Amino acid sequence: APCCQKLGLKQGKWTKEEDGILANYIAQHGEGSWRSLPKNAGLLRCGKSCRLRWLNYLRGGLRRGNFSKKEDDLIVKLHATNGNRWSLIASHLPGRTDNEIKNYWNLHLRRQFHSFKKTYTTNNSTTITIDINMISATNRKRRGGQALGQLPRSS
C-alpha cells in the first residue's frame, strides 16, 4: 500500500514472530485502534495490514479448508439475491471471511453459476426456463471472426 512505502514500513509475507506479536497484543488489549496498534505492539507494519491479517487469518473461530456442498449452494443462492455483497454473504457462513468467500466465488463458483438453468417470468406470467448449456454455440463468434464449431478455411 502507498502508506507503507511512505513510512518505510515492512511489506510482503508475515513471519510467525509478527503473527505472534499481533495475536498477543490483541489478546491483551483487544481489537480496535488499528492505526496505533502497530507502533504500540512494536510491529513495522501499517494498521491496515495488521487489521486484515487479524481478521482474515489469525482471529479465533475461522474455518479454513474446503467449502462444503451446502456452503456452495448457500453462496450461490445468496449471491443471486444480494450480488457481490460479500460481507453480507459471509454473515450467513460462520467462520468464513468475506475475502475468502469472494476469492472462492471468483475462482470456483462463478463459472458454475453461469451454467445453471435460468428461469424467467414474463409480463403475462409465462415462465420460461433456459438451459444455457443447450444453447447452440454456432451463432456466437470467437476472435478472428469464425463461428464456434466452424472449421477454418483452407487456402
Tens-place pLDDT, residues 27-67: 999 988 899 999 999 999 999 999 999 988 898 888 888 99
Higher-pLDDT residue of 8, 68: 68
Q: Do domains 2-58 and 69-111 have the same CATH topology?
A: yes
CATH number for the segment(s) 2-58? 1.10.10.60
Query: Taking residues 89-107, what's their average pLDDT?
Result: 92
Return the SS3 of 154: coil
**In the chain, domain spans:** 2-58, 69-111
CATH number for the segment(s) 69-111? 1.10.10.60
pTM: 0.59
Contact (Cβ atoms closer than 8 angstroms) between residue 9 and residue 45: yes
pLDDT, the chain, mean: 79
Query: Taking residues 94-100, what's their average pLDDT?
Result: 92
> 3-state SS of 45-103?
CCHHHHHHHHHHHHCCCCCCCCCCHHHHHHHHHHHHHHCCCHHHHHCCCCCCCHHHHHH
